[in-house]
Structure 1
Amino acid sequence: MWPVPRGYAWTVFALSFGLLLSDYMSRQVLNAVFPMLKSEWLLSDAALGSLSSIVALAVGVLTFPMSLMADRWGRVRCLLFAATLWSIATVGCAMSADYGQMFVARLFVGIGEAAYGSVGIAVVLSIFPVALRATLSGTFIAGGAFGAVLGVSIGGAVAQAAGWRWAFAVMGIFGLVLAAVYGVVVKERRLVRVADSAEDPSDAAGASAAGSRDAPPAPANVPLRAHLPRLFSSVSVISAYVGSGLQLFVAATLLSWLPSYFNRYYHLTTAQSGSAAGGYALIIGVGMILGGVVSDRISAGVSIRKWAVAVGCSLGSLVLLTVAFQLPDGPVQLGALAFGALLSAGSAGPAAAMVANLTPASVAATAFGTLTLANSLLGLAPGPALTGVLADHVGLLGALRVVPLVAIAATAAFLVGRHWYERDLLRVGGLAAPAAESEPPAERPS
């Protein structure tokens, strides 16, 4: 059942997805101009990696408090502030005179982006039917990869034609225009009505929209702080946070360093490297969507199967990427790299769905903020930075050969979550779920 008119829901999704594209275009355009900055400012790989990681670090540190603020004071207001800030900061990157000024501007890009991913997905999930949860989560998160495609592809082309400063300027101006359109079309009062109906247990449509049939119910008139401990109330939800973050270490490294990899080892120009890396970023995004779609399909009768999708993606990326970076340059390597990239972030949708299932609907943005915190601190921030540090010692190819091993830890976390999932659902309120969303009675743990 749709809690708002279907056309309005898809309009909000399109604009929210567009802002997410802008978010990652502003974040990832830097990677397209790595070779230019390295040459002009004589930067090490570690310094280049820090310019990328400072954004993810700021997102990780600030996403939780900003998501909490959004739950209390208005998600649309928070989104508009975030988009405006990261866009202005991206224009500031274009005006940077040295590494220090660029670092400060990138820090403000991260501050602006801190609330967007978690709050944006909470807005989207609040106005769509529950059955689309993993698919929408995977698709929305995949916007990051699609934004990376546009950021490195368009950024590389603009940089080669007009210089790296214009690459940043174009991304910032695009974000400002899109934020203005979002502010005109998306209204807080309509989202508030949806949230209010979700808090009313007598409103079946609202409950269906804002929560999962697996999720513990969110009683009306309960203070927000009473729900916050439930963000970490089970082994399985913590495992989803950890597994998602560790697996994104691999995907973030690919998104950040593939432009430089193609430039150094395949001897492509800045524009060609950006286009090639953009193609792989697109593959990563497709993998996110497919992970969510497959997760929803195979778990229609047994929700625990979502964990199997996450485990399969982690193990698959481990094997394929390890093989790819051992192969010599050429078509076979590029093919193995493509399949590894496809699986490298396929766990994002299932992990987000599990977080939604195991936390109250009333703190949806904060729950996704916690997931974003884990994604940033465990994956998006350390991935590019540590790879850059390692590349300064063993070369970029040597560093990329080590990165896939992180998927071993991600797989372990997902397996632990799967083991505890059903008993955690029972403990935190999952018994309210209908039979269609759980194991057959004979298979449930006693």
Structure 2
Amino acid sequence: MHCLRDRTPSYKRSNSQINIARDGGQKSGQLPKESHRTVQPCKLTLLKSCSNRDLSQLKELKTTRTSPLTTLNNNNKMTATATATATATATVSLSPSSSSSSSLTSTSTSMSSAISTTMNGHCSAINCQQRISSLEQRLAILETQFNAQCLLNKTMANQLEELNKRYAELNDQHLLNKRKKTTSLRHNNSKKETDRPIHGTVQPSKFVAWMKLSNFWKQRPTIQTLKEQNIYNDEPCFDTEIEMVLKDDLHKTVPKIVIDCCQLIEEKYRKSSEPVEGIYRQCGDYNKIQALRFSIDANNYESLRQSNIDIHTLTGVLKLFLREIKSPLISVNEAKTFIVLTELPAKLDILKRLIRSLPEVNRDTMEYLFSHYNKLTKVPLQQISADSLSLSVTPSIFHTVQHGAHIQDIHLLLKESEILADCVKIMIEYHSKIFE
């Protein structure tokens, strides 16, 4: 630093001052710094002349002098480069010229940036090398794990193949044992049959017996044949002729079921504190109706008087009886003469003749039924008209519902049902005149 402040030419200074500038201001007895070891006497000779040509020669000389130091290791290399740069900077700073000093300063700045760039590149190279080493280690670990997994998969596949073979062997052994067992059973059965004494008839197999039973059911006799053979008989009350039904003790020609049902219906209808809606229209309890049917067929008419039997169940039993008798009380063919009539007096006259022409049982039963219907329409609390009642009882009296009727006959049946309902309505309203 002393040589930069001193502007005296070097040839005018003393030797002590020159030594101080060469040693970098160090005291006597101290070793010179490494940055000044590269300075040679020839450089001092060049520094004495402050020409630009001499300075360029000094730079070339510095480069040639510092190049052998690059053969050292990485740490000595960076140290030698820094030392050469510092030496060149210090040497050039001895120039007395201001222009030469500025050019040397810029040169030192560029060299410093080059040094820093070199050091950064060196650090980046070290980091990349470390990263590559870690990745190589990781790759080696993954490769080891992959090889272990492949070995495990191969082992499991071999075990599975062995299990499949074992299962196939066991299955074959089971089938073989089953065949042997079946063969032994057949052999034992055949041996028993050969040891058994031979009779005149051979025992049929199960298949032959099943075929015979099947043919028997296909060729079973009809109901009419069973009736002729007295195997199957009609029910005592339901599904039979009205003449065969048990008659009442008081009304000798009227079935007992009609008398009992009508009396119980009228009694419940009159004693009801609330209006009964839909009488003869609403359906009763089907299970109770069927139970009463079996009880009446067993001649147990007292079952109709049970406390749990309501009025709709009783009307259902009566309608079932009228609907299931073999012949209706009045056939539709007999009522066809009534269909063409329009005037009421003519209708009453025709109905009188029609009723008188009926069998005694049918006539007396109809008289009692329509008397019962007429009484229901005159109960004070209950409000039921002959028109609505006739719509409910007409199918049971005339058997208008025909089995196997075609679709094209439906409109004709509906028209006939309306006319027959009008006939029943007149017989309810004018009961006393028709049945006198």
Which bin holds the TM-score, normalised by the shorter protein?
A: under 0.3
TM-score normalised to structure 2 length: 0.25
